Chain A
Amino acid sequence: MSVQTWTYILVGITFALYIGIAVWSRAGSTKEFYVAGGGVSPLANGMATAADWMSAASFISMAGIISFAGYDGAVYLMGWTGGYVLLALLLAPYLRKFGKFTVPDFIGARYYSNTARTVAVVCALLVSFTYVAGQMRGVGVVFSRFLEVPITWGVVIGMAIVFFYAVLGGMKGITYTQVAQYCVLIFAFMVPAIFISIQMTGEVIPQLGFIGQVADGSGGSLLARLLH
């Protein structure tokens, strides 16, 4: 079978998987819709959050920015991951205990201030729009490459699938489709990294290969070779 047929089959399988998960996790109440009834295990939540980090913006854009901007691109790495520390230390424990559904609600109730709540809403909208714009562009690029459609159609197809499983499944549907995406993404990240590391430095663990010597006998460090 040709590559194109395989592509359609695999894309079709992933769509069917997401739609199946959405139907299985149909939301029945507001609490279920917004916070999955509070019943998602920490491991699943962690996988879903990781899938968010590893999605189009990291796989396509961040990799690209860091290779083109070089050393300065490290700020994206530190910022995005350092932000998780801030979340874990300053927001997440209190958000869960408070019982509100959204961060702006929590801020408004915690500080007894509707102004704070409005500011939080504006921030959330700005961040969400920026993030979604980048992600949907990534979706469009990937679909246009694999399904051989114009980028605009790629974006529309992606939007339609996400709309379907988000509206039907709510937070629970989104979380479990993210878990499925995590499994695919961790594999997609690790395989090239490990094999490029093996090929260039003979080192299996990419983080060690990054600081290691080049494997073709000349003995210089990989970074010195790449950066000059």
Chain B
Amino acid sequence: MRPPTLPTQLQRYWRYNLRYLAILLAVWFAVSYGAGILFVDELNAFSVGGAPLGFWFAQQGSIYVFVVLIFIYVWLMNRLDKRFDVEE
């Protein structure tokens, strides 16, 4: 029988959870709103292949980053669960 996790442990776990969410959602915002909408004209000065960079971010790049973000989140949270002994 595993020893139960203490309430202070759970608070620390939750704080780590929130910190990860803040970082990942900041990246999410930067890649979609930032690169695709707010800073499009500045970014369009550069290009990747035949596409202006801002346009590329809106059409493809942001979606690649979204997929990677989800994988990173799952890996981080599994590692956190194992560390705090609350894994499923």
The interface of chain A, by Cβ under 8 A from chain B, is 71, 74-75, 77-78, 81-82, 84-86, 88-90, 93, 207-208, 210-213, 220-224
Contact = CB atoms under 8 A, between A and B. Distances in A.
Contact of A77 (B28, B50, B63): B63
B13 interface: no
A74 B62 CA distance: 10
Interface of A, secondary structure class, is helix
22 contacts: A74-B59, A77-B62, A81-B63, A81-B66, A82-B32, A82-B62, A82-B66, A85-B28, A88-B70, A88-B73, A89-B21, A89-B24, A89-B70, A207-B60, A210-B51, A212-B49, A212-B50, A220-B50, A221-B51, A222-B50, A223-B50, A223-B51
Interface of B: 21, 24-25, 28, 32, 36-37, 48-51, 55-56, 58-60, 62-63, 66, 69-70, 73-74, 77
Contact of B63 (A78, A222, A224): A78
A88 B66 CA distance: 10
A211 B56 contact: yes
B87 to A, nearest CB: 12
Given A74-B36, A75-B37, A77-B59, A211 B49 contact: yes
Contacts of A71: 55, 58
Contacts of B74: 88
Contacts of A86: 28
Given A78-B36, A84-B70, A221 B49 contact: yes
B32 A78 contact: yes
A44 B63 CA distance: 22
Nearest to A87: B70
A221 B48 CA distance: 11
Contact of B70 (A75, A85, A224): A85
A77 B73 contact: no
A78 B56 CA distance: 12
Contacts of B55: 71, 74, 223
Nearest to B27: A85
Nearest to B81: A93
Given A71-B55, A85-B66, A88-B73, 13 more contacts: A74-B58, A75-B36, A75-B37, A75-B58, A77-B63, A78-B63, A81-B63, A82-B62, A85-B70, A89-B24, A210-B59, A211-B56, A223-B50
A90 B77 CA distance: 12
Given A81-B63, A88-B70, A211 B50 contact: yes
A213 B74 CA distance: 37
Nearest to B48: A211
A84 B73 CA distance: 13
